[in-house]
Amino acid sequence: MNKWIKGLFSFVFLTLVFSSHKPIVNDESVEIANANALHLAANEVKYNLEEMYAEEHIVMDKDVENVVTWNALKNVRYEEKPDPTYKVVYKPIYGKSIRELEDKTIQIKGFIIPITSNTFALSKNPFAACFFCGQAGPETVMGIQFKKLKDKLKTDMFVTLKGKFILNYDNPDDWMYHIIDAEIIEIK
């Protein structure tokens, strides 16, 4: 039996076991919740994230100064600041380890999330579990500005990128992190 089917059976079994312990609001909300859970379970089975992010799979480029993991990018806290447009924004306060990466060439792995036809983000998680869907925080996504885009990119392509790491200190309408002059090292 392949991994997907085993994962789906495990998920359905666990859903049945634990569903009796959850309050039911109405039949429609339960149906929507189950559909969302099945979608997330299918993506968890489809993507073995531990294997994809494993260090033994790192392809080093000679121009890369630092290999960065998404775990390292968690070193950030937020401070409420008044804002004329939004009343209050959460300004990122980056930890020392992140500030030390600023303006350096880094390498990072992640999932492509198309924003527009020529604008992309890189996410720690596949689209169904990315921070837009409430499964993670804003530190798990970064904007990408490609040096020269040769490949046609699709949602959830798993790539290794290299480029210059930039921090966003003040713009609440932009990503917390950017990778500029980005190049694709590897596509899985």
Q: Give pLDDT, residue 51.
A: 52
Residue range 149-183, pLDDT digits in tens: 877 899 999 999 999 999 999 899 999 999 999 99
Q: Are strands 177-187 and 141-146 parallel, antiparallel or unpaired?
A: parallel
* Positive or negative: CA dihedral 74, 75, 80, 85: negative
Q: Give pLDDT, residue 48.
A: 52
Strands (E), the chain: 66-67, 76-83, 87-94, 105-114, 120-123, 141-146, 158-167, 177-187
As beta bridge partners, residue 77 has: 93
Q: Give pLDDT, residue 132.
A: 65
The mean predicted confidence, pLDDT, of the chain is: 76
Q: Give pLDDT, residue 117.
A: 83
* Positive or negative: CA dihedral 175, 177, 180, 186: negative
For the chain, the C-alpha Rg in angstroms (whole number) is 19
Q: Give pLDDT, residue 122.
A: 96
Are 125 and 141 in contact by the 8 Å Cβ rule? The answer is no
Tell me the two tokens of residue 38.
Answer: 């099945």
What is the average per-residue pLDDT within 83-100?
A: 94
Worst-scoring range by mean pLDDT, 1-15, 53-67, 90-104?
A: 1-15
Residue range 30-85, pLDDT digits in tens: 455 555 554 454 444 445 555 554 554 445 555 667 899 999 999 999 999 999 99
Q: Give pLDDT, residue 63.
A: 61
Nearest to 180, CA basis, from 161, 167, 159, 165: 165
pLDDT for 17 beyond 50: no
What is the average per-residue pLDDT within 3-9?
A: 44
pTM of structure:
0.67
CA atoms within 13 A on the CB side of 93: 5
Q: Give pLDDT, residue 38.
A: 46
Residue 20: DSSP 8-state: T
Q: Give pLDDT, residue 129.
A: 72
